[in-house]
Amino acid sequence: MTCLHTVQEVVGLLDSSVTPRNMICIGYGHFGATTCLSIAGLDHGHVFSLDTEMRYYWTDEHLRRYPHLDPDIREFFRKRDSDELPARPWGYDHCYHVADSFSEFLRKIHPGEETES
C-alpha cells in the first residue's frame, strides 16, 4: 500500500463493481493493488488486497506478454489452471487475504511499532 484513501475517496468507491459488497477500499498501491477492509460477514475486520487488474482471469495468451514473471507468479497460475488453489468465497476471485484484523495489518506494515487494538 502506498497511500490511504481519504474519507471522500472511500465514499466514492462504495459503489465499485469490482470490490466485494462487504468491503471498503481504504488504500491503494502499485500495479492495481487496492487495500480493502471487510465491514460485514464472516470475515468482518479482515484486511484484503484486491487486484483491480483482475489477473486471476488472465489467459495464457495474456501471460505470454510477460515472459519474465516471477516464478511465484507462474506457480500461482499453474495452481489456478490445475484447480489446486484454495477455494474462495463467491466474489473473492481477486481478493488476497492480508490480515485477520486492522491491528494485525498495521503491525505487518510497521513491524516493531505498537498499535492499539
Residue ranges covered by each domain of the chain? 3-109
Cα dihedral 105, 116, 110, 102, rounded to 10, equals 10
Question: Residue 32 has which C-alpha cell?
Answer: 492495481
Within 13 A of 87's CA, how many CA atoms are on the CB side? 2
From residue 108, give the alpha-carbon distance in Å to each of 90, 112, 115: 27, 9, 11
The reported pTM is 0.76
Query: Tens digit of pLDDT per residue, the chain (117 long)?
Result: 666 777 777 777 677 777 888 898 888 888 778 899 999 989 999 999 999 888 899 999 999 999 999 999 899 999 999 999 988 888 898 999 999 999 999 999 888 766 555
Select from 34, 43, 38, 40 the least CA-distant residue to 4.
34
